[in-house]
Amino acid sequence: MGTDCGCGCGGDATRTSAFVRPRFFAGQLLTEDDLGLLVDYVTAKSRLHNRSLSGPGVVRGLGVTCDPCGGGTVAVHPGHAFDCAGNDIVVSCTERVDVRALVRERRVSGLGVDCGDPCDDDGERRYGLFVRYQELSVDPVAPYATEEPCPTPGCVPSRIREGYRFLVKHGVFEDHRHNPGTTLLANLGSLERADEARARDRRLGHYVDAMFAASVSTGRTIGFEAADNKRFTDGLDWLRQNAGGEGPPPPQTVPEMTDHVRALASAVARFDTYDAAGQAQLKKDYPRLAEVQDARGVLGAACGRLKGADMGAAWPDPLRRTIARAVVTETAARVVPERGDPDAQLEVRMLAQGTPLGHALQVEFRADLALMREWLLGRLDHATGLADCALRPYVAAIDVPPRLPAPPADSVERTTIADLLRIAEAAEKLSLAVRRFVTDAACATLNPPCDDCTDTDVLLAEVELDGCDVVRICSATREQVLPGGSAYGEWLPKLYRLRELAERVCCQPLPSHRRPDLPAAGPVSRPYADGLLADWPRTGDLEEMLSLLLTPAPGETPPKVLHEQVYTTPSEVTDSMQELGMLRTQVADLTAVLEGLRVQLDASRTQMSRLEEQVPERLGSRLAELESAPREQEAEPAEPPAGEPAEPSAAKPPAAKRSRSPRTQKPGETP
């Protein structure tokens, strides 16, 4: 079976080369095809070098200035330029260009009719003055007679003269310069959706280790150390001074109050994971813990005020707003009661690490995982130039838990270890996948693309006309050939820094996540999640690389944003998908139960088969004795109910005795 491998399937190319040069040898009959092939080869190689090593634009000269005589003409001075096809455009002497005539020519060619003098238009107009490469066949000669049956009649041009012509254009002009950020945006797609997926990845990153630790350490204490005692003391003192009063707090104080509630609730939750003896020892080691009951009351009052606060004004970011609500809801449900919530060990251990996980936040995490996986698969289908070949099957194989419907307000429904582990494992894998994809997309920008040449005209200047007179000329925006070409010249100010970062980011081993290493016995030492409610800064070599690519330097062309259509799923479809996900979960549970019952039924059938094989041997003799006994026995009539006369009844037929298998009589047994 044949396979199309592109331009080559191994070491040798399977397609015809783009360049073929003639090979001469002694005694060869040379024809016009051989000599023409040599000219074509040299010309094509020269053009390739021009467009690849230099790129389109002005090499030198070709300045455009006002004509000494004024009017609608300009002066184009000598110079050299390359067009995007690699053709050399050489102006050897100063040319007087009639812009007015070029505007008229443009109108006639565009409309097909002559609509009069363009000078009749009022107002100022801006045009781009371009130079275009063209070839002219010149110097015709009469060919000698040949033996061809149909010789070429008349004279044939013997030379190709390379020339140029000037023209004007109106509107947006094509810019061949390439910004590396354009390639990055083509792979990332919409920056809004990319930032949305990466923001959810950062939020899940604060919770992954905490979820693994809470799942594994169920029934064990979360260590209470000196740093936790400091948070307990500072949080309690601050809330006593600032959390009192009636009514909700103002939005400007809500973030600080919520953060102190989280810190104090974490310390109290760690205290609650100890047994009575452990709590007594903690109070001896840290005397301020004697006020733990007062701390519960202070937390209850603070949560009561925060429930009525304007969370939208205090937390403009919806991702952190949900965490802030979880702080209030989980603190009030798990810590404020006198003895905590012993039935919610997972939730208490999550709160002890400073990462409260309420029902509403768990629902959002499931939706975040689905969004991240969908975004990754969509971008991997459209991105080009990526080098992580195993990433797409890795993402497709990630098991994302189904979405859940939106919970009621202040829901305190508890989660299970299985659900928590499923969320943590999916978040761990998707976080690595997002990092791998963004790294691959950033590294793919370091190679300039090979763009198709669709417009070979070279911009010389922009001219402004007032009536028939040229009033202003601007040559500053035209493309200028730089070392490495205009496509590469945009990178010169940042190229060395990008290369330095690429050495540390690209072509490195794939990233991995190391789960928390918990001790086999004793209290579990877990850090407190600092900065959970603060801004999440983007740091590291990869973030610096992305910022350098997407932030235009002074004078740099901005990266071209990819405009893609985003399809919004109606709410009815979303709700139906959530219900379908719940039904699938229930069906999976019922299938597991039925499978267990089927296994038990098969085992029972096996036991019955064994009993049936053993019964005839053990009961054979006894069955023979029973069969020889009298077979007729009168059944005694049943007594009528109280208060009812007895009715005569017909004699019942003798009951048939149940046959039994013979059994061997044991020694000493009475028959």
State the average pLDDT for the chain: 80
Q: Quick one: how far is CA 629 from the chain centroid?
A: 86
Per-position DSSP letters for 145-198, written without gaps between them: P-S-SSPPPS-EEEEEEEEEEEEEE-SPPP-----HHHHHHHHH--HHHHHHHH
Structure tokens at 567: 């399809």
Interval 574-592: pLDDT, tens: 566 666 767 776 776 677 6
Q: How confident is the model at residue 671 (pLDDT cuts 50, 70, 90)?
A: very low
> Between these two residues, 540 and 622, which has the higher pLDDT value?
540
Are the CB atoms for 254 and 242 separated by under 8 Å?
no
Contacts of 671 (CB under 8 A, 6+ apart): 622, 625, 665
Give the integer Cα–Cα distance in Å for 203 and 320. 8
Look at residue 395 in the predicted model and tell me its pLDDT.
95
Comparing 3-17, 61-75, 344-358, 577-591, the range with the smallest average pLDDT is 3-17
pLDDT per residue as tens digits for the range 420-446: 999 999 999 999 999 999 998 988 887
Rounded mean pLDDT, 304-318: 91
The whole-number pLDDT of residue 614 equals: 63
* 236-280 confidence digits (pLDDT tens): 999 999 887 788 899 999 999 999 999 999 999 999 999 999 999
Task: Using the predicted structure, report yes or no on whether residue 8 has a pLDDT greater than 50.
Answer: no
The rounded percent of the chain whose pLDDT value lies above 90 is 33
Q: Does position 362 have pLDDT exceeding 70, yes or no?
A: yes
Q: Tokens standing for 75?
A: 């002066």
| pLDDT tens digit sequence for 142-154 | 887 777 777 666 7
**Cα 554 from Cα 551, distance rounded (Å):** 10
Strand, coil or helix: 560: coil
pLDDT for position 649: 44
pLDDT computed for residue 92 by the predictor: 92
CA dist., res. 204 & res. 365, Å (int): 7
Q: Is the pLDDT of residue 412 over 90?
A: no
pLDDT at 118 over 70: no
Q: What's the whole-number mean pLDDT along residues 121-126?
A: 65
Lowest-pLDDT range of 10-14, 37-41, 66-70, 490-494 = 10-14
Asked whether the predicted pLDDT for residue 234 surpasses 50, the reply is: yes
- Average of pLDDT values for 565-571? 51
For every residue of 190-243, DSSP letters joined together read -HHHHHHHHHHHHHHHTTHHHHHHHHHTTTSPBP--HHHHHHHHHHHHHHHHHS
The confidence band for 491, taking pLDDT boundaries of 50, 70 and 90, is: low
Name the more confident of 611 and 253.
253
Q: What is the pLDDT of residue 121?
A: 59
- CB of 220 closer than 8 Å to CB of 523: yes
- What's the whole-model pTM score? 0.67
Residue 93 has pLDDT above 50, yes or no: yes
**Residue 471: is its pLDDT beyond 70?**
yes
First to last CA, the chain: 83
**pLDDT tier for residue 397 given thresholds of 50, 70 and 90:** very high
Cα gap 446→56, rounded to integer Å: 20
User: What are the Cα distances from residue 472, in Å, to 102, 170, 336?
Assistant: 17, 16, 76
Per-residue confidence (pLDDT) for residue 50, from 0 to 100: 85
User: 651 falls in which pLDDT band (50, 70, 90)?
Assistant: very low
Q: What's residue 198's pLDDT?
A: 94
Residue 136's CB is within 10 A of a number of other CB atoms, namely: 10
Asked whether residue 634 carries a pLDDT value surpassing 50, the answer given is no
Q: What pLDDT sits at residue 660?
A: 44
Is residue 158 over pLDDT 70?
A: yes
Q: Looking at residue 152, what is its pLDDT?
A: 63
* Residue 108 or residue 645, greater confidence: 108
